[in-house]
Structure 1
């Protein structure tokens, strides 16, 4: 059995997936093709389909005109080892997009991302619930997540 997430783009699918795969190490565009027949979304050749990999996740994308806009019901979470990785991805993805609270942002195509330190999960699941609460409270005040500030909150 194989599970693949599918993203629907109104336009600029190839630019979007090219951008994403350039940002995430170990990523690749595996295929891009046009539908050879007419479809409900347009005449032959107007609908594009791509497969790509981001890190260790498989995706499919389709460019077939307007349908439903992306929303928070689906997001891509990237867990980073360092603040430098967080900063690099955050700055790239927010260009032309919109930043949100708690490490969330929408890129220029409207896709939601969560850019977070790997360490956040450990801190939030700390058996010392007071420590975990301090981390959660600190995170809720942030837009882009700050690993040093989260560690400081954990330390009290």
Structure 2
């Protein structure tokens, strides 16, 4: 079967990053590790949330940027808070649910309710929710709801 696997180029922290990511997501695991002649990790395959990734220690030639991000669709504020707090530690908060982790990878930590509010047929409520979201870093579901309901 043909597969599609995101390939992540790290300078020299691929193993550290993979172990960090599998610690954040409870179902994560290292699937395979390749080593060079000095027994240092060259690349590894890992899985989180059912998605396989390949991580490479490729040197300083390329760096991550927000043009590519990993989108985590969360089941409510508790999940948003958990993933956000773990992933942003040592990294940087961005606007509208975006963050950059300590390895430079961009993430979007988004509650499912955001899509429900923004796609709702009540366009005035959807617009209020959008305006509220644009002021946030970490998405707060209660604030979205309050804006949507105009309270």
TM-score norm. by structure 1 comes to 0.89
Is structure 2 residue 76 aligned with structure 1 residue 87?
no
Q: Is the 8 A contact 1:47 1:64 kept in 2?
A: no
Q: Distance in 2 between matches of 1:57 and 1:47?
A: 21
Runs of at least 4 residues off by over 2 Å? 44-47
Q: For 1:3-152, what aligned pairs fall within 5 Å after superposition?
A: 3-35=4-36, 48-152=42-146
For structure 2, the residue ranges without an aligned partner over 5 or more in a row are none
Q: Secondary structure at the match of 2:131?
A: helix
Q: Distance in 2 between matches of 1:27 and 1:134?
A: 37
Per-residue displacement from partner, 1:47-95 (whole Å, max 9, x unpaired)?
6111111102111110121121100111011111121211111111111
How many aligned residue pairs are there?
A: 149
Q: Distance in 2 between matches of 1:114 and 1:19?
A: 17
Per-residue displacement from partner, 1:6-53 (whole Å, max 9, x unpaired)?
0000012111111111111322111111145xxxxxxx7556111111
For structure 1, the residue ranges without an aligned partner over 5 or more in a row are 37-43
Q: Is the 8 A contact 1:124 1:132 kept in 2?
A: yes
TM-score norm. by structure 2 comes to 0.92
Q: Secondary structure at the match of 1:4?
A: coil
**More deviation in 56-65 or 107-116?**
56-65
Per-residue displacement from partner, 1:103-141 (whole Å, max 9, x unpaired)?
111001100011110111111111221111111100000
Q: Is the 8 A contact 1:46 1:64 kept in 2?
A: no
